[in-house]
Chains A and B, each alone.
Chain A
Amino acid sequence: MTAWTDHLLMAPIVVPMLAGAIMILIGDRRRNLIGLIGLASTVTLVLLAGLLLTMADEPVVRIYRLGNWPTLFGIVLVLDGLTALMLALAAVLGFAAFVFSLGRWQRAGAFFHPLFQFQLMGLNGAFLTGDLFNLFVFFEVMLAASYGMALHGSGVARVRAGLHYITVNLVASLLFLIGVSVVYGITGTLNMADLAFRMRDIVAEDRGLLETGLAIMGIAFLIKAAMWPLGFWLPPTYAAATTPAAAILSILSKVGIYAVLRVWLLLFGGETGPSVGFGSHWLVVGGLLTIAFGSIAVLATQNLPRLAGASVLISSGTLLAAIGAGQVAVTGGALFYMASSVLAIGAFFLLIELVERGREVGADVLAVTRAAFGSGEDEEELEEQEIVGVVIPGTLAILGFAFMACALLLAGLPPLSGFLAKFAILSAVMGPTGTGLRLTAWGLMAALILSGFATVIAMVRSGIDVFWTNPARRPPRIGVVEILPIAFLLLICIGLTVGAEPTMDYMQAAAQQLHAPTAYLRGVFAGRPDAAP
């Protein structure tokens, strides 16, 4: 029964691991060779993700048993609709950030490319794994690489933000471990499917303890996802990180969302006994508070990288609240929103650097202060440093269009995919089939619309300031490899808009799988280990 296609499930972990290891062996000096290997790896990942997406677009859930051990003894990798979607997002974003880094950021410090590959490996592993402890291990692989990525380029701001980031995440990892061990102590299993199976038969006196353990684990996920009181580390870290690092870090917060989706819906979503719906109010309320905090942060922020960080908060909050609503159609819309917002935020992080390149240091802060208090100071002439790259005519026009597309996507305005995603969430929440609380529905609607409004205001303000009132004296010099990834990401968003119907069908099918995990359970438990290797 093992066709060669089944082995493909392993490839998204193995390819970047091998690429990263080879890069370290080659050493940091031979840039061209390393770049070539990185390119091969990221392109392979994109192609693999495409292949896995087509494989996942059917009701069967595929599994891969490492070492062909029986399911409950060995480690399994599981591929369903959500996993394939996340793999594709990580691959596309990874490819774009990699190509962008070839422009100049790879030279800002040692071992950028190996760290980048290990980051991708950790991400892919976390999406694929089917048991809780390996989820922890891949979280750590991903985080260890992300520490290096966040610190890449060094400097006071990065080290200071990195110190906070690492400390917060170490504490989150300890909470994760506590949760995992409580779950193992009570149920005797760490396999997620087996756990969902056993949830029904937990005796009443153990149930409270098990729920506590899972809640502690949930806190670890929510720290990653940057839910409101747990997310203060996010904007400074992302704003301080180098551009390609920030772009790939922006999907890290979505790993927390992924873990909540996977674990929460599997254990508390379907027919799993008296625990159904445990903690859904926390998700909704926390999500709404995160949106509120993100909207205020968007309005209050004075520079573009922090604006992008605040947008990450809004997108996390939206997803959490939508997941907490606990309806299939809403989750489907949320998945569409996730795809759209990951790509848009990634593109925005990359774009910011190009826009800022031609401007004076601290121009944003000055502009806002000037608007508030009136100008009175002479502008300093700052010598622009020499940048290697090809000059594109009409650079600013291209940047302006990209900025506009990002603004439309982030704010969720028509005609791009951000609007369709928000519309899908809202129409499902407000629709006649909605059985959830009316209060939740109205709260979510208000939060989505108001946060979109705040984003529009903030983006328009920055856009006017950057492109109209005090544009760069001469257009910034931008390499082709730096504008192409942005165009690539935005084109995919446009593709999502044009092909909205098949995309939405896929998302709904994936949400259906998550809410009724019989296919997942059957997939994991199906069949004995193969007789012949």
Chain B
Amino acid sequence: MELIASLAIGVLAGSGVWLLLRARTFQVIVGLALLSYAVNLFIFSTGGLRSGAAAILRAGESGSLANYADPLPQALVLTAIVIGFATTALLLVVLLAARGLTGSDHVDGRERDR
């Protein structure tokens, strides 16, 4: 499971970085989205990858992380998803404004002179 998870994170992050460095605003925003998925998965995986762990402690068990899934990374990732979603939406609006004002979808607002 570690291998699949790390491959997924790696592929997402790699594609995200590649798209982020492109010149078109839409590619940049898709790249940012992919990168934030990679980061969210990464945060999630810091709690340890286990299947079938209890969400909360059952009666009579000791309070050790061996008995239940670590809730904190889940809380963190939830916050990170919400914030990432909101800021990406804002960037999308700015992207549209830039497209309308400059008439170009280049990140600098104008095509590079050839």
Contacts and interface: CB of A to CB of B under 8 A. Distances in A.
A joins B in a complex:
yes
Interface of A: 133, 137, 140, 143-144, 147, 151, 154-156, 159-160, 162-164, 166-167, 170-171, 173-174, 177-178, 180-182, 184-185, 190
Contact of B80 (A151, A160, A177, A182): A177
B94 A159 contact: yes
Interface in B4-20: 20
B73 A170 contact: no
Contacts of A163: 25, 91, 94-95, 98, 107, 109
A235 to B, nearest CB: 15
A156 B102 contact: yes
B94 A164 contact: no
A151 B94 CA distance: 9
Given A167-B28, A174-B39, A184 B46 contact: yes
A133 B75 CA distance: 11
B98 A173 contact: no
Nearest to A139: B83
A166 B91 contact: yes
A181 B43 contact: yes
A218 to B, nearest CB: 17
A137 B78 CA distance: 12
Contacts of B108: 160
Contacts of A156: 101-102, 109
B87 A159 contact: no
Interface residues of B, number: 32
A72 to B, nearest CB: 12
A140 B79 CA distance: 11
Nearest 5 pairs between A and B by C-beta?
A185-B46, A181-B43, A160-B109, A181-B46, A156-B101
Contacts of A167: 20, 28, 32, 91, 107
Nearest to B76: A133
A137 B94 contact: no
Contact of B91 (A137, A140, A160, A170): A170
Contacts of A147: 87, 90, 94
B76 to A, nearest CB: 6
Nearest to B17: A171
B23 interface: no
B69 interface: no
Contacts of A160: 98, 101-102, 108-109
Contacts of A184: 46, 72-73, 76
A185 to B, nearest CB: 3
A206 to B, nearest CB: 13
B110 to A, nearest CB: 9
Given A160-B108, A170-B36, A184-B46, 14 more contacts: A133-B76, A137-B79, A140-B83, A144-B90, A147-B87, A147-B94, A151-B94, A159-B102, A162-B94, A163-B107, A163-B109, A171-B20, A173-B84, A177-B43
